Amino acid sequence: MSVTKLHFLVLFAFVSSGLCSSCTNPQVTSKSFTTQDATIVTNIAYISEFNLKCSSGSVSHLYADVDGIIVPVSEIAPNNYQVSWTEEIKTARRGDVTLRLFDEDGYTTLRKAIRAGEDLSAVSPLFTVTINHPGAFTGPWLKSEFLAAALAFVVAYLALSSRSKLLS
């Protein structure tokens, strides 16, 4: 083998190993949003945007586990990612929702665990992100139509009772 081919192979090995290295010691900063006014919508939206920095290696694709449902993560800018999903208002939960995020290798392990029917919590994620949903406002306890009808009833009662007092 010639020296230039050997140099090329060594260079290719270094470049490919650098591209395939996984993220170590991930540092994550996140911000989240959830729908808080459910008076005119049918679903609650959960959105988490986070910045991921690795001390070594990189991440090509990320996947989020939301209570056993795998959701793809979108890269919106270099090192900035976003994951979102919706739930019906009746089934949307209040409080903290923990997202377990996986790289390609973790996703493969997670899929194998799902197919085998194993416990998914045994698969360790690359990192986790927590979204807090304080709940959604679904409207006032008493509807305005009920208040208007009750007020009309009270006014009619007062008018009729004072009329009967005047005529007696």
Q: Is 122 exposed, middle or buried (0-12, 13-18, 19+ CB in 10 A)?
A: exposed
DSSP letters spanning the chain: --HHHHHHHHHHHHHHHHHHPPPBS-EEEEEEEE--B-SS-SEEEEEEEEEEE-SB---S--EEEETTEEEE-EEEETTEEEEEEEEETTTPPPEEEEEEEE-HHHHHHHHHHHHHT--GGGSPPSEEEEEEE---B---SS-HHHHHHHHHHHHHHHHHHHHHHHH-
pLDDT at position 86 is 94
pLDDT tens track of the chain, all 168 residues?
A: 555 554 444 444 444 444 456 788 899 999 999 999 888 899 999 999 999 999 888 788 999 999 888 999 999 999 999 999 999 998 888 999 999 999 999 999 999 998 999 888 889 999 999 999 998 887 777 788 888 888 899 998 888 888 888 777
Q: How far is CA 87 from the centre of its chain?
A: 10
44 and 136 in contact (C-beta within 8 Å)? yes
68 and 117 in contact (C-beta within 8 Å)? no
Of the candidates 128, 129, 110, 107, the one whose C-alpha atom is nearest the C-alpha of residue 120 is 110
pLDDT at position 1 is 53
The Cα–Cα gap between 30 and 82 comes to: 9
